[in-house]
Each structure stands twice: as C-alpha cells, then as structure tokens.
Structure 1
Amino acid sequence: MQRQHTRQPSFGAGLNVTPLIDMVFILLIFFVVNSSFVKETGVEVDRPTAQTAERQDQAGILIAVTKDGEVWIEQQQVDVRAVRGHVERLHAESPEASALILADKRSETGIVMQVLDQARLAGIARVAVAASEEL
C-alpha cells in the first residue's frame, strides 16, 4: 500500500501590506501637520507698493476691495454695509484675530475707509491695509 501525498494549496503565503499602510498613514499625518493653509479673499487684487511696508503675521480676517469697489470676505462678495456683521461673526470665532484689508491700488479711498471703519466698529483692535514692498 502506497500513500499518495497530495499537495494542499497554501493560502498563508502572501505579501503582508499592513506595515505599508501604517507608513502611508504616518506620512499623511506628517504632511497635514506640517502644511500651512493659506486664506484667500476670493479675488485678485493689485496692491499698492510702499517703501515702509512691513511683513506682518498672517491676519485671521482678510477683506479685499477691488478696483470696481467690490468688497470680498471669505470668497463671497459682500455689500459695504454688511462688512461689520461679517467681521463680527469672524471675530466671535477667533477673538484674537487681526484684520487685513487688501485694497487694489486703483480702488476708491472712500470705500477702503468705510471697510476699515466697519472692521473697527466690529471690535477688531488691529486693522491693517496691505501693501507690497517696493523693489
């Protein structure tokens, strides 16, 4: 009597991808933690230049005024009379935030001053107007 040995297929022999998945998640966490998120106003503004322009830390509230007199906050066009309400809401979310007005160099000074005034009335202590450094 002879025994026949049949080979059973082995399902355990395979590639273990668990360490690879762990490494991908670690890399993902690393890039998320080290990335910086840039806030934008939603429109492109041609800022004026100034010799005394100083680099400022990132402001929490960005307000843009275009050359056509449009006011933009958080990628939404806002009426000048509604600036205070929007800024108050953003100020309530982050009380330590400062405001930065990105005014186009061809925008009307009156509208920029209205926006500045509305931001201050909303309770923002530090309001600045952005300018590019003169080369």
Structure 2
Amino acid sequence: MAFKKYLRTKDDLVVDMTPMLDIVFILLIFFIITSAFVDTSGFDYNKSRQSLFSKEKSSVISISVSKAGLVRMKGRLIDIQSVTANTQSMLADMPGASVVIEAERETLHGVVIQVLDNVKMAGVSRVSISESME
C-alpha cells in the first residue's frame, strides 16, 4: 500500500479575518456607546457671582485670645465684655464681615466660649475658631 504524501501549498493556509474584524467593530461600538453613560465622580458647588467678580479680599475681623485669657482686636488689648461693642463698630465699617477667633492651645474653653457668645450678640453669623500659631 502506497501512501501519497499530500503537499500543502501556500494558498491553503489563508485565515479569514472578516469575522474577527466584525467582532472588533462591534466591541468598538459597544465601548463608544457605554462611555457616554459613565458618570464622573466629584462634587458640585455653586460659587456666588459676587465672589467671581470681586477683586477685594473678603473682610475678616480677627480676635486673638491668649492662654492667660487676654483678648486682642486689631492689636489692642480689650476686655471680654467689650467684644460685642468693638465687633459692632467694626461691622459698621465692614458689613457682612466674618469673624475668626484665634485661641492658643492652652486657652481655657470658657474664655473662648464667652468671646464667641459676645461675637454672636454683635450680630455676626459667620464665626470660625482656629488655633493660634504664636
């Protein structure tokens, strides 16, 4: 029995690329369509129009409280009871100003709360408390 040797020619080794191209185009269309539905993470905020066009710095009234309980406004030493009157006079010059109370780390909380109460009695709605770096 004689076996014939089958010789392949180079024309027999052709791979049809059409189905693979069809799948690639379908995947491409799928990713293009689904990428439009991806929601970017982040947060929304509304910046007021006044702050967008305002070239002036926002007005801030600074009040310093030392660990000994001494209160300073504009560099001058004042009494805790006069914080309300001084804040009201400064608000007359800078309407809508916010107040920053800077207290040293060792300051008693009761003193800071008294200053905070006096500032609130002056009619300030935006008050911040920070630690003094001095």
Which bin holds the TM-score, normalised by the shorter protein? 0.5 to 0.7
Does structure 1 conserve the Cα–Cα contact (< 8 Å) formed by 2:59 and 2:94? no
Partner Cα separation in structure 2 for residue 75 and residue 104 of structure 1: 15
Does structure 2 conserve the Cα–Cα contact (< 8 Å) formed by 1:91 and 1:97? yes
Partner Cα separation in structure 2 for residue 58 and residue 113 of structure 1: 24
Measure how far apart 1:131 and its partner are.
3.7
Measure how far apart 1:130 and its partner are.
1.1
Paired residue type of 2:69: G
Does structure 1 conserve the Cα–Cα contact (< 8 Å) formed by 2:63 and 2:101? yes
Name the counterpart of 2:88. Answer: 88
Once the two structures are aligned, what percentage of the paired residues are identical? 33
Name the counterpart of 2:74. Answer: 74
Name the counterpart of 2:108. Answer: 108
Partner Cα separation in structure 2 for residue 95 and residue 131 of structure 1: 25
Does structure 2 conserve the Cα–Cα contact (< 8 Å) formed by 1:61 and 1:99? yes
4+ long deviations beyond 3 Å: none
Measure how far apart 1:120 and its partner are.
0.7
1:115-126 equivalent positions in 2, closer than 5 A: 115-126=115-126
Partner Cα separation in structure 1 for residue 117 and residue 58 of structure 2: 21
String of CA shifts for 1:68-96, please: whole Å, max 9, x gaps: 10000001000001100000000111111
Name the counterpart of 1:62. Answer: 62
Partner Cα separation in structure 2 for residue 122 and residue 102 of structure 1: 18
Is the radius of gyration larger for structure 1 or structure 2? Answer: 2
- Secondary structure in structure 1 of the residue aligned to 2:90: helix
Partner Cα separation in structure 1 for residue 99 and residue 93 of structure 2: 13
Partner Cα separation in structure 1 for residue 116 and residue 126 of structure 2: 10
Rate the CA distance shift 1:68–1:131 in 2: closer, same or farther, 3 A: closer
Does structure 2 conserve the Cα–Cα contact (< 8 Å) formed by 1:59 and 1:100? no
- The structure in which a higher percent of residues are helix is 2
Higher RCO (C-alpha 8 Å, min separation 6): 1
Measure how far apart 1:122 and its partner are.
0.2
Residues matched between the structures, number? 76
Does structure 1 conserve the Cα–Cα contact (< 8 Å) formed by 2:64 and 2:103? yes
